[in-house]
Amino acid sequence: MSSTTVLNPIYTPGGNDLTAGTVTLTLTAQSAAPGVEASDAMVLTISGQATANAGVDATICEGSTYTMIATATNAASITWSSNGTGTLPDHESKMLSIHQV
């Protein structure tokens, strides 16, 4: 935490937090009266960053198609795009696509 004595610190997850996927953060307030304190906790869930690998570079002959084998992790969805004029048929976000050139 950026500071344990300010009301709104910045929390940076540590290695164990990332591995566990959650961490419990507890705020404790000490009363002006001796011995009286109040506490509340919250669970912070840590989601992994999305990764994408479109596969290896390849060469094909004109008129051929190419089946792309890709991987994505921690992704809610994926989208293919191209800077060419070929087509990328919609395969309902599956990790297998065919590109016509």
Residue type for position 42: M
Span 64-101, pLDDT tens digits: 988 888 999 988 888 888 888 888 776 544 544 444 44
What pTM was estimated for this model as a whole? 0.58
- Report the pLDDT value the prediction gives residue 87, as an integer from 0 to 100: 82
Question: Is residue 17 a contact partner of residue 26, using CB atoms and an 8 Å limit?
Answer: no
- The owner of tokens 């906790």 is 41
Span 20-44, pLDDT tens digits: 999 999 999 998 878 789 999 999 9
